Amino acid sequence: MNILSTLSHRLASFFHRSQIREEMDEELGSHIAHRADDLERGGISRAEAERRARIELGGREKYKEQMHATLGGNFTAIAVQDVRFAVRVLGKSAGFTIAAVLTLALAIGANAVVFAVLNALILRPLNVPDSGSLYTLEHGAKDQSTSYPDYLDLRERNRSFEDLTAYIMAPVGLDTGNNPSQAWTYEVTGNYFDALHIQPYLGRFFHSADEHGPNSAPYLVIGYAFWHTHFQDDRGVVGRVVQLNKHPFTILGVAPPEFHGTLLFFSPDLWVPMVDQEQVQGLRVLNDRGQREIYMVLGHVKPGMTEAQAIADLNSVGAYLEKTYPKDDAYMTFSLSRPSLAGDLLGPGVKGFMAGMMLLSALILLAACANLGSLFAARAADRSREVALRLALGSSRKRILRGVFTEAVLISLAGGAVGLLGSVFLLRALSTWKPAPQFPIFVPVNPDAKVYLVALLLALASGFLFGAVPVRQILRTNPYEVVKAGSTGMVAGHTGRRVTLRDLLLVVQIAICAVLVTSSLVAVRGLVRSMHSNFGFEPQDALVVDTTLSMAGYNGDRVIPMQRSMIDALKTIPGVKSVGLVSQIPLGGGGWTENVFRDQTRDLRPSNAAAKVQEFRISPEYFHAAGTSLLQGRALSWQDDKNAPPVAVINQMFARRVFGSAGNALGKSYKMEDGTRVQVVGIAEEGKYYQLTEDPKPAMFLSFLQMPTNSTALVVRTDGDMGRDEAQLATAIRSALRNLDDSLPLNIQTWTQGLDIAMFPSHVATVALGVLGMMGAMLSITGIFGMAAYSVSKRMRELGIRMALGAQRREVLGAALGRAVKLLAIGSAAGLVLGILASRVLAFIVYQATPRDPLVLGGVVLAMALLGLLATWIPAQRALRVNPLILLREE
Amino acid sequence: MGDQAQLLPGTLDLLILRAVSLGPLHGYGILLRIGQISDNALLIEQGALYPGLFRLVRQGLLKASWGTSDNNRRAKFYELTAPGRKRLREETASWNRLATAIGAALAPQPEEA
């Protein structure tokens, strides 16, 4: 039955009640009249007959009450009574209530935040129509990249997708008047919006019919947020012509506000047709089957088609491609995944981390429940006289238990409400947070109905969980024993050596806390270690200027002269030691990989590749500017240009992987994908290129004079002491480059700031674990404190007698707190072992996460000892201040 | 009245169903009918009848309607419903089984003789 009909039923019986009551009266009256008729016939007066009849019938009210009980509708009335009583009782012990509500608020708030993020990242489908059937294609080893000709073949030859669309992410220079600035775009195939079933908010979208070969569709669609910030919601923007990379593009329309692209964490400002690639990216590789330039291919599986059928269909197309284009296509076995987290690229890591966080926050909630459970148990013990009296006066145990549960649920609901309120504020802030300003990262983690529901359920469940702790105690209460024992008496069972439920709860809670402390220490250590690890470059005292020359219309032969004059211009700035150019800054959030082949390999199909390597195109002074050490051979020079044979500096990993050893590699040659032979002239140290947690990868450094690059990062090394005039230097750099070309959008920041994107996962992990660890620690402190304070207060008399008999301070403390300390030790040990096991999970995110680190182990032990000291300090002081004389006289 | 037997718990419902099975009756009538068919051997608290009737109506075993009695007074009349008739049959059978079994158990055994 649904809630609404139950409610209306209850209401009806509520109003119906008076009518039923009247009928009962009438029926009983009728009975009396009939009985009186009989008695009257026996020869007594009518009045006397009625009197006797009434007496014979007995207590009318009692019978009516019984009939009401049959109705069963009393539940609501009793519940209201219970709630009012519980509120009065809780109000009397305000301190207890506030502590309990706050404890739960913290725990439920933490769970709500973690769940909301989990919901936004994993559970909530992408905000596009029919997102259930939308899949992204992955082939080989979870590779999403595809070449344009392969994409066309897949689109035309498959029979299982409604349509397939594809996109590439690229920065562009956008000039809407006199303000050239960088914007992020998805270069998409013409059918993009149609394939995704998206309708324009304003104007129109471009379609497949608009594409007529390279640079044939100079059209833009702008995102709603970008329209709001850059065009002030001007509806006249449709049809306007703006300069994109110095080419005129017409704004066709505005995307709807809820559409942020198909990647959860990368929302584009603009969409442009992929056929304009030459104007947008400054390169023209759409016809090259070997260039896997497309970031992602996605589409809706046809209704009625299963995932397996679609995969089988794609594989048959893949087999055809491998057979027809053996030089370019290999590993064309497909799988499908969800587009929102870039498929299986980020998916498993994010999912693993969120699952871990959910588990930890659930542990926090469990610890809070254990805490409140033991508080409730202690309260029940203190109230045992009240319970005994109520039992003696005829209350049922069921009714008393219901009272306890009502209190527990009231506290849990209040805690849930406060926690949820806090989490909503936190989530609002998180939604607007931009972790890396140079990327359009936008993750809306606003709570939805699901989050509220989960918080409510968690609150109720925890209420029943900790409310259940004192049940046994109340059921066992013997009113006679309790009343006899008197006010200062000890209720049997508290002084025994037996392990009580409360002890067990405390151990569990301390163990949970120790797990949290261990994992947060592991994360912090990992973060510190990763900051001081060898990146293969020196981020200190360097600035990075990031730009793409095509944004100001530089293409082909104009690129290298411009880059040379940029380098020259920056070198003249006072305080600059050296300037190096690199195509993609390492650990900057992007990177290129390319297959390389041994020199003797003839058949350059992908499956014959010797290694997949990170590719950097650099200027001769890059190593010097970046602080990368050259181990053997020579660096690149200005003579390694178009007229000289191609050369490269490779890293140790490359040398080992392809040539067997570093010594072996020098002077040898290898082949690139297009067959170019490259000679190794130097060996550089290994570094981190893409992620902090990555294993050493092979890398090659090619000359930007031989392999031109439009994407340009300039590393400006200063002569130290940069902290002081960092801003000044940035201004000088900006004006020097403006003098060369004022239409080139620039992104200038210190290299350390630039690393934020690479540090992001471990920062998040550290902060999240740190917060959870702190909460765990707080809960433990209150838990241990509660237990110690309670046991001291209960044993005041015993302690007084011990002191009177000459016990030393140490012995008194041992008697008062020994148990708490023992429990602390057991719990910590258990938690430490569990924490070490749990830290394996952390290795995904945290750099070199290992709990087998003396500093971590020592830290955990120290932290737990401190917690214990902190929590038992006040109870210990109280125990020591016991004055036997006063105490005994009071009796 | 000292020689009247106390009702076993749960048997009042059975007696009500039995009394009503002979034709529609009002509350007081049911009381008289039980007295009549049991030779006034059972002690029934008069008021206790009504919660029992109320319960049986809620369970759908009896149907109640207001009417006029032989004494020309307004009264609520009860009659058996089909589920009520079925219940009476089942309860009667199970009571008989129980009574036989208890009777056999309490009867003097041969070895006692």
Q: What is the ipTM of this complex?
A: 0.88
Give the start-to-end residue ranges of the domains of chain A. 3-73, 131-339, 348-490+498-531+759-890, 542-756
Give the confidence band of A655 by pLDDT, cuts at 50, 70, 90: very high
Split at pLDDT 50, 70, 90, the class of A786 is confident
Would you state the structure tokens that stand for residue A883, as one six-digit string?
Answer: 């004055």
Q: Provide the edge-to-edge strand list for the sheet that holds B74-80.
A: B25-26, B74-80, B62-68
A182-241 pLDDT tens trace: 888 999 999 999 999 999 999 999 998 988 888 888 999 999 988 998 888 889 899 999
Burial A438-471 (b: 16+ CB within 10 A, else e): bbbbbbebebeeebeebbbebbeebbebbbbbbb
| A495 has a pLDDT exceeding 50 | no
**A306: helix, coil or strand?**
coil
- Contact criterion met (CB < 8 Å) for A57 and B47: yes
Q: What is the pLDDT of residue A172?
A: 87
Tell me, yes or no, if A55 comes closer than 8 A to chain B by beta carbon.
Answer: no
Find chain B residues with C-beta within 8 A of A71's C-beta: 58
| Cα–Cα–Cα angle for A207, A212, A216, rounded to 5 degrees | 90
Q: What is the DSSP letter of A275?
A: G
What is the spatial distance between Cα A413 and Cα A459, in angstroms, rounded to a whole number? 6
Cα-Cα-Cα-Cα dihedral of A133, A136, A140, A143, to 10°?
A: -160
DSSP string spanning A418-444? HHHHHHHHHHHHHHT--S-TTS-----
pLDDT of residue A491: 43
Which among A748, A592, A708 has a CA at the least distance from the CA of A282? A708
- Is residue A314 within 8 Å of residue A340, measured between CB atoms? no
Q: Span A257-268, mean pLDDT?
A: 83
* Mean pLDDT of the region A571-587: 90
Asked whether residue A267 carries a pLDDT value surpassing 90, the answer given is no
By the 8 A CB rule, do A554 and A282 touch?
Answer: yes
Residues A809-856 pLDDT 10s: 788 888 777 877 888 888 888 888 887 777 666 666 666 666 667 777
How far is residue A529's CA from residue A194's CA, in Å, rounded to a whole number?
48
In this prediction, residue B1 carries a pLDDT of 40
Give the range among A269-278, A787-796, A867-876 with minimum mean pLDDT.
A787-796
* Amino acid at residue number A674: D
- Write out chain B residues lying below 8 Å of A63, CB-based: 47-48, 50-51
Least confident of A17-21, A269-273, A460-464, B21-25: A17-21
pLDDT confidence band for A871 (50 / 70 / 90): confident
Inform me whether the pLDDT recorded for A25 exceeds 80.
yes
Among A258-262, A562-566, A687-691, the range with the most confident prediction by mean pLDDT is A562-566
Residue B105, chain A, CB below 8 Å: the answer is no
Residue A579 has pLDDT above 90, yes or no: yes
| pLDDT tops 50 at residue A488 | no
Do B28 and A30 make contact, defined as CB atoms within 8 angstroms?
yes
Q: Which of A292-296, A627-631, A703-707 has the lowest mean pLDDT?
A: A292-296
Task: Judge whether residue A359 has pLDDT over 70.
Answer: yes
Q: Do B75 and A62 touch (CB under 8 A)?
A: no
Which among A25, A28, A30 is the top mutation candidate for probing chain B, defined by the most B β-carbons within 10 Å of its own β-carbon?
Answer: A30
pLDDT for position A53:
86
Percentage of chain A surpassing pLDDT 70? Answer: 89
Mean pLDDT of A327-339: 82
Contact between chains at B50 and A35 (C-beta distance less than 8 A): no
Q: What tokens were used for A560?
A: 């290298």
CA A362 to chain centre: 14
> Contact B27/A30, CB-based, under 8 Å?
yes
Q: Is the dihedral of CA A326, A327, A328, A330 positive or negative?
A: positive
- Give B75's contacts in chain A (Cβ within 8 Å): 27, 30, 34
pLDDT at residue A492, rounded to an integer: 42
List, for residues A370-405, the tens digit of each pLDDT value. 888 877 877 777 777 777 887 777 677 777 888 888
Q: Is the pLDDT reported for residue A444 higher than 80?
A: no
Region A735-751 average pLDDT: 88
Residue A684 — very low, low, confident or very high, per pLDDT cuts 50/70/90?
very high
Overall average pLDDT of the A455-476 stretch: 83
Q: DSSP class of residue A667?
A: T
Bigger pLDDT: A736 vs A840: A736
The rounded distance, in Å, linking the Cα atoms of A249 and A185 is 13
CA of A70 to nearest chain B CA: how many angstroms apart?
6
What mean pLDDT do residues A765-776 have? 80
Looking at residues A476-489, what average pLDDT do you find?
Answer: 63
Residues B11-58: tens digit of each pLDDT: 888 888 998 888 888 888 898 888 888 888 877 778 888 888 888 888
Distance CA A107, CA A463 (A): 12
In this complex, the residue of B45, B51, B74 whose CB is nearest that of residue A30 is: B74
Q: For residue A344, name the pLDDT band (cuts at 50, 70, 90).
A: low
- Quickly state the pLDDT bin for A557 (edges 50, 70, 90): confident
* The pLDDT value given to residue A490: 44
**Mean predicted confidence (pLDDT) in A580-587:** 91
* pLDDT higher at A155 or A553: A155
Q: Are strands A181-188 and A165-175 parallel, antiparallel or unpaired?
A: antiparallel
Task: Return d(Cα A21, Cα A446) in angstroms, integer.
Answer: 52
Chain B residues inside the 8 Å CB shell of A70: 51, 54-55, 58
pTM for this prediction: 0.66
Domain ranges of chain B: 5-102
Cα(A167)–Cα(A271) distance, rounded to whole angstroms?
A: 9
Q: For A633-646, what is each residue's pLDDT tens digit?
A: 999 999 998 899 99
- In CATH, what is the architecture of B5-102? Orthogonal Bundle (1.10)
